[in-house]
Chain A
Amino acid sequence: MKKYSKIITTLLALPFFFISCEKDVLNQDLRHTLSAEDAANTVKGNQALLAGSLIYAREVYNDFELRIPVFKQCGVDIVQAGTNLADEPATAMPAMNGYTSDLASISAEIQTFWDNYYQGITPANQIINSITSSGNIDDLSEDIKNSLGQAYTMRAFLYLELVRRFENIPIVKVANLDETGPVSETQQSSPSEVYDLIISDLEAAIPLLKKRVELDNSVLTISSGLANMLLAEASLDVGDYVTAAAAADAVIADESYSLQPLDGIFGLDGGKGGEENNAEIIFSIGFEPPATDNVQWTSQHFVPLYDRVAGVARTMDQGGRPWSRLSPSEYYWSLFDSDDDGDVEDEADGRIQAWHKLYWTFDDAENLPAGKEVGDRVTLEDVQAQWPDTPNNWRYIEPTTIKTWENGEYGRTTALAEGWRNIIIFRYAQAYISGAEAYFKQGNTAKALQYLNVLRERAYGNASGNFGSITFEDIVEEQARELGHEGHRWYFLKRNNLLVERVGMYNPSATGNIQDKHVRWPIPQGFIDQTGATQNPGY
């Protein structure tokens, strides 16, 4: 019996051998997400792929770690370092603004910027490959044509940013990692090869795309207006002024756009469907409250530390949370100071009042300095009294631009540095400036004058500010007055060979630092180390 019971017991235990079947145990599935391959085959994964380039273009403003959300405003003649730019990583915006020795190939932020923009090119390449390989473009549906046009436009957008900053960059292909393993071999193209690709992409895109009015009328949608604006910019860069002028004219003629009142362009009234969607904007990168991981980080940079002043409270009206990373330069203010009296408040140019905060007022009744009332304007004497020995702190009340500011419209609080306003990439007024530049370079000064005066008339409310005649310097100045601190100045100065000279003259952070090599950024060291690529001269 004993023997049998052992056998029976053993037999009873046998199923455990089968329960513990290897196959079930070893075939595990990732439950909460898909592999990249499977995700691309889902409807929404495919949509994400279509929007992929935009997702990465958006990262620059969304990624807190990158620390360069206003890099495009840095390093030009119309800004200087704010009092607290040094709080940023030395190799990020301080280097980009001040052309210090930290503007070097080892800058992690430059590498991340480079990686990020190239990451955006991959999905565009994938879309373009898959659509163009599927047959004759003319036979495709309108939707697919539009997708293709968008992919071409975004690829051109990303390459334009890259080639402007780095010049000698590779044109990349989709890799098959499973087959080849990681790729580390590449060839750098010359800037003209990259520009050829950009321009051919845009020329291919324009007929495939629709105008903003033909679409959903959203500033967030990639339209033929954006493609034309990019074409104007790229053509100006390479000196093809005929194409540039034609592209600018195409934008100007686009019935989607119209010049708006000065105070209706950068405001947030009415939210995403209101002012943020005004008819002057050609293209914005969208942000949507209130998700905490969906924020952008530009709002606080041009706000001085006004709340450190005794008697001035931190409120949304006064600017919300201040970071004071950048500040308009003296040169910028001088451009508006037509009577050279050191005061711009008396100027007739409406852009001064509409786009700037020129002074602060006492509003904190409990902490007022002696002799001050709520509503009094804070003066230089007030801050000098508070900080007799630290002149740097006197800058806590310096005037600034409010183009990137954000109020409480989307739930931003005084504790939040971040916000949710859209990032305006291009607006209609730029078509006039770029058009003027293109015509002037062709010798058509009259047309250039005409375009500049369109903007002058809006700024002054009448023809009193109009130019009678212009030199190229007028275009240089008007570009700053109209588009200042919107992120176009660096490219404008660069293509007109003014970057080194003007930045050295007017940006105190860069004076003495900026050199010829700085017209382009260094190729990231990580890329050079792994590919053996050639570094840009001087770095």
Chain B
Amino acid sequence: MTKFLLARLMKSVGLKTHSFLYLFLLVGTMVQAQNNITISGVVTDTQGAPIPGATVIVQNTTNGTSTDFDGNYTLSVPSNAILEIRYLGFITQTINVNGRTRINISMAEDTQMLEEVVVIGYGTMERANVTGAITTVDVVEVQKAPVANVVESLRGQVAGLQVTRTSGQPGSAPTFKIRGNNSLGTDSSALDGNNTPLIVVDGVPLTGGNMAEFNSDDIASINILKDAGSASIYGSSGANGVVLITTKSGTPGKPKVTISSSTGFSDLVQTPNIMNGDEFLKFRLDAVKAGDPNAANPAVASVLDQIELANFLAGKEVDWLEQVTRNGLQNNLGLTVSGGSDLGTFYLNGNYLSDSGPLTASDYKRYSIRFNGDINVTDWLKIGARVQMSKSFSDQRTRIVGFGNNGVPSLSALVESSPYGTLIDEEGNYTKFATTDLFAVNPLHKFNESKLDENVTRSYINPYVNIKLAKGLTYTMNSFAEQRNEFLGRFQSENFTDGADNLAQIRTRETTTYLLDNILNYKKTFGDHSLDATLIYGVQQSEWTEKNDQATKTAADQLGYWGIGTAPSETQTISINTSDWGKAYLAGRLGYNYDGRYSATFTLRRDSSSRFVDDNRVGYFPSASFAWNAQNEEWWFGGDVLNQFKVRLSYGELGNDDKINPFSYQANTNPTLIPPDLNTTGLIPGDVAGNRNLKWETSKQTNIGLDFGFFENRLSGSVEVYNTKTEDVLLLRRIQPALNNGYGRYPSNIGKTENKGVEVSLRGAIFDTEDFSWNMTANWATNETTIIRLNEVGPNGEPLDDIENGWWIGQDPTEIFDYQYEGVWQIGETPNITTFGNTPQPGDPKLKDVNGDGNIDTNDRTFVGNQTPDWYGGLNNVFRYKGFELSVLFEIVEGVSRLNDIYNTYASARQNRIAINYWTPENPTNDYPRVGDGSAMNVSGAFHNAIFLEDASFISLRNVSLSYSLPQIWLDRTFLNQVTLSLRGNNLKYWTDYKNAYSPEVTNTDQYPISRTWAFGVKVAF
């Protein structure tokens, strides 16, 4: 035993001379054996590559050896022995020696194992036994997308998983959700955050749920848990679904080195049609006339300021968007070394990613290193650790906003600045302001006079121990410690705006998370019955600290934000914010399978959370799910045509406590200067009262699923139907401060939502020949969320709408309640209707008289659409011809309405806007109403939003990947095993009616535009 171990150890460290010594010793001990012959040979994989460290053993004995670095083995065995050759990840082989002395063995990879085992919470399960709704993501396809964040690459790949990206800021994370919205959040802006799924990496739920610092190449598998049957093992944090990610391990065998590199170029995928100089001037003139056919033409000089007039006369015009855009550049360089033996495996990856976005002043760089390694201490004890360290640097000056009431976001200027503004002054410097309007900022000036750096350092270690206690019984301890530091440095020079002091800010945030899980698993099969029981006891704890320093009047602009310490002490302010939480949980899962036909899974989790007090601290989350593999019935009629027909049913309860602020049970306080002297501070209560009765939001989820396969799964798929009722939704109930000790909001569990939907996934191998194959996958999902109850009830207990948040009973949480725009009143038409009692003028909007009373007022607002798609999905085609591979992914989102804020203030002439076809007496269009002061569409006017509404449905060409792998025959004479060249594109094209925006998902002018990328890559392995 000891020697055996020693030998393996020596092999693994590659000490050839010593292994020779060992062999000598081993042979020495074997001399006594009788009728023995000495056999030798090479163990290789199917491609002929030697496998070092494979075990060659005489069946049912301890007589054995392992292969050396070149796959060779030598062993003395009885001439009639049966050899067993084992190697992790390969199918174990048995071979009759039959007197031979030279036996070469080719081992096949155990692909079966990889395909059929599904990673579930706290364990794995054979696909056939799965009872819940789990989607296994095709990681190979996902990794083809040239994007930095793995969540973004899931777009269009999974039925029921919706990813949206509202900002293209390099390094920024998209928002995503599984099966729509269940929770509402404290206000409508928190909706997305509150419905973000839990991300679990290698068994550890991520706090903050951010994958931004993860290298996608490190990911081995992604499984999406969508229903209670699968996710309730995560109890209080599983209600939004769970994304289970496992990272790569080394595979035993000859160490493999992979080097990959790609270079990409990006530009804007879609740009709004902003008015040019001529259009802008005409618009300003028309705005003065405000649709009055008798109005005299104003003088040009009266609608342009001095600066604009001078540029107009000189024929100078600025396209602000063009001034700020550039060719974006993406670089990705990775080096992986992985390998291992029976003794253990390792995986080491170093990755560098840089993304210089398509706008100036927005560079992102990320370095990440991962090491996953494990060692088999004995055949029943395995210890390993996963370690990651990453650091990102992000220049975010494009997000810079002036402080105080100079708070104009720089990027708004790309749309809003006058085309007759001045970009560069006579001295050759960027102007501070485009025009005399001190809100018309020059973004390039702001970039030059500011800094906004955000750096994230994230490191964690995830050690684990795995003990086989008895046959079928294993104990796993998974532990985890993570440190995540965010640094934000912000600076504005004295020259940033006229006459201001400089400003420096340094904000650091530190999150420390610990986790310790104890997992006991017992698997047993007796006869037709098999059992799989798991018991989990664990704790997780997180500490979050934010320190924010600000100062003005630093000693020198050159110091940037690092000069913060040179500021006069009275201008320095420090604020500290903290938020800690902890939870402890005990969970059990019992899986039972009978004869491969009937499966059942029961889980129960007991969560205790520091977020709640007293009786509400503990919650129970049960689920039960069942599956029936009909094709395994003896009477099954489907035969080879319908070879799989599996029906699943699950019900369970889940929570959403992660989204509830810690310490909501008590009223918080803020430091305030105490009058009259204002030289001491004391703590006074904030606006939000505490509620000691707070508890979890509870989602009751039902899922019915069907998995089917035709023609030996050439065509396979699944259909899911679900219904989720969420109760005790946490809302900040508005209360009257006058009557409630000054508190205006009261956190309480009184909301209620219902969410239902259908998902379909299909997978087909349309062609599958040796040289050519064509695989298609498609997914489709529809989802409907309805608000049942909100934070206020009427006198008779009937639920009332929450107008402030735009939430309406019986509607989707994103439903828009506004006037319905129908066209423009034309000259000569006699309006049969009044608006707020006044007769509309020609050029005014025609609005739908919803209540039919002949007058348009607030009672004529109606539900005009929402951001939840009617349906959405993806279509991916993969073609392979010899070494070529082409993947094309389309994403479709249908039935989305958004208020496109880029039309904001379009009726007033202060800022530039979209070139739209607005009404004038000479242009009697119905597209858009008249512009100008008299227009009903003014910023503060009631009908302001009515024309913003646009259909934001789209089809996008999401990803294209073309790759070519050099034929093996070319590589045989080199040291290389693989050379692949690729050309990959992301976000290439939108087909949509929502054209006046940076993408159909962007609603604001101050957002970073969305880019499209083409990347050329090379991957070499040896």
Residues of chain A at the chain B interface (Cβ within 8 Å): 2, 5-6, 9-10, 13, 16-17, 19-20, 22, 24-37, 39, 42, 44-49, 51-52, 54-56, 58, 64, 86, 89-90, 101, 114-115, 118-123, 170, 172, 174-175, 177-178, 181-186, 218, 220-222, 285-288, 290-294, 308, 310, 314, 387-390, 411, 413-418, 526-527, 529-532
Contact = CB atoms under 8 A, between A and B. Distances in A.
Interface string B666-694: 11111111111111111111100110100
A154 to B, nearest CB: 10
Nearest to B665: A35
A90 B581 CA distance: 43
B516 A35 contact: no
Interface string B599-626: 0000000001110000001000000000
B96 interface: no
Interface of B: 288, 298-299, 301-302, 306, 378, 380-381, 403-406, 436, 465, 467, 469, 475, 477, 479, 497-501, 516, 518, 537-541, 545, 550, 552, 570-571, 573, 576-584, 608-610, 617, 662-663, 666-686, 689-690, 692, 733-744, 746, 792, 795, 836, 940
B302 A388 contact: yes
Contacts of B608: 22, 26
A221 B676 contact: yes
Contacts of B792: 529-530
B655 to A, nearest CB: 16
A67 to B, nearest CB: 11
A435 B319 CA distance: 65
A121 B570 CA distance: 32
A375 B671 CA distance: 48
A374 B499 CA distance: 21
Contacts of A413: 499-501
Closest 8 CB pairs of A and B: A48-B682, A220-B676, A389-B302, A414-B499, A25-B582, A415-B500, A118-B738, A39-B683
A35 B670 CA distance: 10
B674 A310 contact: no
A265 to B, nearest CB: 20
B676 A414 contact: no
A28 B792 CA distance: 31
A56 B687 CA distance: 12
B538 A36 contact: no
A13 B477 contact: yes
A59 to B, nearest CB: 10
A54 B736 contact: no
18 contacts: A16-B516, A16-B518, A20-B584, A22-B608, A30-B580, A31-B578, A39-B684, A48-B681, A48-B683, A118-B742, A172-B738, A177-B743, A178-B692, A181-B746, A185-B739, A290-B571, A415-B500, A530-B792
B405 A54 contact: no
A186 B735 CA distance: 13
B741 A417 contact: no
Contact of B404 (A39, A58, A417): A417
B859 to A, nearest CB: 14
Contacts of A54: 675-676
Contacts of A170: 738-739
Q: Name the residue in B288, B692, B733, B740 with the highest tally of chain A Cβ atoms < 10 Å from its Cβ.
A: B740
A174 B381 contact: no
Q: Name the residue in B670, B674, B836 with the highest tally of chain A Cβ atoms < 10 Å from its Cβ.
A: B674
A532 B739 CA distance: 13
Q: Name the residue in A28, A49, A288, A532 with the highest tally of chain B Cβ atoms < 10 Å from its Cβ.
A: A28
A413 B498 CA distance: 9
A21 to B, nearest CB: 8
Given A123-B742, A414-B499, A415-B404, 18 more contacts: A2-B380, A13-B477, A20-B584, A30-B578, A31-B580, A36-B685, A44-B682, A48-B672, A51-B674, A115-B744, A118-B737, A172-B738, A177-B743, A178-B692, A182-B689, A182-B740, A288-B673, A294-B673
A220 B669 contact: no
A101 B467 CA distance: 75
Given A288-B679, A292-B552, A122 B742 contact: yes
Contact of A292 (B550, B609, B675, B737): B550
A181 to B, nearest CB: 8
A32 B576 contact: yes
Nearest to B517: A20
Contact of A6 (B380, B537, B541, B795): B380
Contacts of A414: 498-499
B406 A415 contact: yes
Contacts of A51: 674-676, 682
Contacts of B617: 26
A32 B669 CA distance: 10
A27 B683 contact: no
Contacts of A19: 516
B682 A119 contact: no
Contacts of A37: 666-667
B610 A526 contact: no
B690 A35 contact: yes
Given A26-B610, A182-B746, A177 B741 contact: yes
Nearest to A389: B302
A27 B610 contact: yes
A20 B516 contact: yes
Contacts of A45: 669, 682-684
Contact of A314 (B499, B735, B743): B499
Contacts of B406: 415
B512 to A, nearest CB: 13
A513 to B, nearest CB: 14
A243 to B, nearest CB: 27
A174 B940 CA distance: 38
Nearest to A387: B302
Nearest to A323: B405
A530 to B, nearest CB: 6
Given A36-B668, A48-B682, A90-B940, A415 B498 contact: yes
B566 to A, nearest CB: 16
A209 B672 CA distance: 25
A16 B498 contact: no
Nearest to A528: B736
Contacts of B685: 36, 39
Contact of A34 (B381, B467, B541, B669): B669
B682 A417 contact: no
